[in-house]
Chain A
Amino acid sequence: MDEKEYDVIIVGAGVAGLSAGIYAGRYRLKTLILDEMPGGVTKTAHLVENYPGFESITGDELAEKFKSHAEKSKAVIVNENVVNIKKEDDKFIISTNHLNEYKCSFLLIATGSKRKRLGIMGEDRLYGRGISYCATCDAAFFKDKIAAVVGGGNSASMATVLLSEYATKVYMIYRGPELKGEPVWNQRVLNNPKIEVMFNTNVTEAMGLKKLEKIKLDNGREIDLSGLFVEIGSMPAVEMARVLGVEITDKGLIKVTAEQRTNVEGVYAAGDVTTGSAGFQQIVTAASEGSVAAYDIFKKKNMKSRTVQTNQ
Chain B
Amino acid sequence: MEFDFTPVVTYFPTLLKGVGVGSLVAIAVALMSVIGGLVVAVISIYTKKLVSWPLRFFIWLFMTTPLLLQLYFLYFGLGEWILIPAIVVGILGLGFHYMAYNADIFIATIKSVSDGQYEASRSLGFGHWNTILYIIVPQAFIRSIPQLGNNMILMVKDTSVLSAIGVAELVYASQYAISVSFRPFEFFIVIALMYYVINILMELGQAWLERQTAYRR
Q: Do A and B come from one complex?
A: no
Chain A interface (Cβ < 8 Å from any Cβ of B): none
Chain B interface (Cβ < 8 Å from any Cβ of A): none
